[in-house]
Amino acid sequence: MVDHDCITYSYLPTPSNWVYMSGEKAINVNINSKMICNSAEMAMAIAGMGITRLPLFSCQSALERGELKRILTTYERTGLNVYVVYPHGQFVPAKLRVFIDAIAAYYNRATLA
């Protein structure tokens, strides 16, 4: 990874350290970021400016169109927590309940790129 231009998401707890799993073993990879940003990683990777780590849900279309290519496919990424936050109350509107159920089902079967 040290020989590649890496594009890093700025809100990661440790943007300069990417963690991959090989079975039960965590592999920590220190990277040199060419750019640290919070929204343009995919566009920059498509433009050929470097490599990045993206959730599959955000880049699936670009992968299918051939604009991006998966690398390091023999390793798994560490998990990413996703939270649905809504006001506490006695009644949860049906639309909100359907959304929560749908997003939970999606993330239960989704993997990261």
Q: Are 59 and 42 in contact (CB under 8 A)?
A: yes
Is residue 1 a part of any domain in this protein? no
Average pLDDT over residues 20-28: 85
pLDDT classification of 48: cutoffs 50, 70, 90: very high
Token code pair at residue 100: 């929560």
pLDDT at 25 over 70: yes
- 17-21, 59-63, 98-102: the lowest-pLDDT one: 17-21
Is residue 95 a part of any domain in this protein? yes
The domain tally of the chain equals 1
Work out the mean pLDDT of the chain and round it to a whole number: 83
**Model pLDDT, residue 80:** 66
Domain containing residue 45: 6-109
DSSP E strand boundaries for the chain: 6-9, 17-22, 25-30, 33-37, 51-52, 76-77
CATH number, domain containing residue 97 = 3.40.190.10
